[in-house]
Structure 1
Amino acid sequence: MNQHQPLPPTPSLRRRMAAFVYEGVLLFGVVMIAGYLFGTLTQQRHALQGRHEFQAFLFVVVGIYFGWFWSHSGQTLAMKTWQVRLVARDGGPVSQARALLRYVAAWIWFLPALAIAWLAGWHGGAPLWLTLLGGILVYALASFAHPQRQFWHDELCGTRLVRAIPTNEPR
């Protein structure tokens, strides 16, 4: 991006969270296909057979999903729908390495709440889900403490979310 051209504004927290929720819906399909592939390739006969390997496989698959979209267009389908784009701190495109770093760093959305739930012995049910939801809410609201209202993992990774105004290109 041109150094003299100002960066687009940061999308509202409402818009970013809408994209976050929609991303979860889309990831359901990605995870289902990956689960079918894993089960078929490993000839898994029981849901708990190879559980940790399956979790590692899903972590990699979801990382590839985000890394590819963020490094190619700066947007997943959910981000396109909600007009949000990921760019480097200077407004340029995001490299594949930076996109993968952001994917790993973005787990801060979940890890503190999951650690609290694990320490409390909550392995399911309402306490786990409420703790997870509370952790996500706290992390999202922490963006108000950032000078540009960015998420803190973006600050760490040298990226930022900007409003992506669609262009009216002829088809």
Structure 2
Amino acid sequence: MTLNAQELHASFPSAGFLRRLAAWVYDFLVAVAIIMLSSALALGFAATLTALNWVELSEEMDHAGWLAQGPWYSIYLISVLTLFFGWFWKRSGQTIGMRAWRLKLQNRDGSRLTLKQTIIRLLTCCAGLGNLWVLVDFKNRRAWHDYAAGTEVVTLSKEANQLFYWNEL
């Protein structure tokens, strides 16, 4: 059974703050793991550069200090997280935390996000703090980044969540 975008939009209510917060906590833990893995890769890269004698470290500097001395390491980590969230939002409308809490990000008509909407959402999400607006917006329960990108987050039924999961594989 396949559902069209209009049926999905009409079928599911907007997500409330507590459910969004729970998904944010899950995604935060995943983001920490991704940062750890990305940092390990960056440290391996720095170690390779020093092993090849392309970079020389002073006596008091280690690989982590070398990485942290300029803005590039921070830009790298932010880029990794941006790609992680952007890929999930654009591809399926669900991050790992959103899938666990049966949330789905979509256009107001139920369709998937465009690349432009994904970028707008990434630039305006304020690391999730924009979700606080849901506490004030009783009628629509939309966050700042939802308004900026023209999107909404809905709560799926268990069946619909499974359906979306299997359709994405």
TM-score, normalising length: structure 1 = 0.73
Which amino acid in structure 2 is aligned with residue 34 of structure 1? Answer: S
Other structure's SS at 2:106 match = strand
Give the fraction of aligned pairs with identical amino acids, expressed as a percent: 26
Residue 15 of structure 2 is aligned to residue 11 of structure 1: yes
Change (3 A) 1:90 1:28: same
> Which of 104, 123, 145 pairs up with 2:136?
145
Residue 6 of structure 2 is aligned to residue 2 of structure 1: yes
Is the contact between residue 7 and residue 162 of structure 1 (CA under 8 Å) also seen in structure 2?
no
Instruction: String of CA shifts for 1:91-120, please: whole Å, max 9, x gaps.
Output: 2111233223211211264xxxxxxxxxxx
Partner Cα separation in structure 2 for residue 16 and residue 4 of structure 1: 19
Q: 1:162 maps to what in 2? A: 154
Q: 2:54 maps to what in 1? A: none
Partner Cα separation in structure 2 for residue 66 and residue 159 of structure 1: 15
Partner Cα separation in structure 1 for residue 111 and residue 20 of structure 2: 20
Residue 25 of structure 2 is aligned to residue 25 of structure 1: no
Is the contact between residue 70 and residue 96 of structure 1 (CA under 8 Å) also seen in structure 2?
no
State the number of aligned residues.
Answer: 142
Which amino acid in structure 2 is aligned with residue 49 of structure 1? Answer: W
Which amino acid in structure 1 is aligned with residue 105 of structure 2? Answer: L
Partner Cα separation in structure 1 for residue 76 and residue 156 of structure 2: 32
Q: 1:48 maps to what in 2? A: 65
Q: How does 1:69-84 map to 2 (within 5 A)?
A: 69-84=88-103
Other structure's SS at 1:50 match = helix
Partner Cα separation in structure 2 for residue 93 and residue 153 of structure 1: 15
Q: 2:118 maps to what in 1? A: 99
Is the contact between residue 7 and residue 91 of structure 1 (CA under 8 Å) also seen in structure 2?
no
CA RMSD of aligned residues (A): 2.4
Partner Cα separation in structure 2 for residue 61 and residue 108 of structure 1: 14
Instruction: Could you tell me which runs of 5 or more consecutive residues in structure 2 were left unpaired when the two chains were aligned.
Output: 50-61
Which amino acid in structure 2 is aligned with residue 144 of structure 1? Answer: L
Is the contact between residue 106 and residue 113 of structure 2 (CA under 8 Å) also seen in structure 1?
yes
Change (3 A) 1:57 1:5: closer
Other structure's SS at 1:6 match = helix
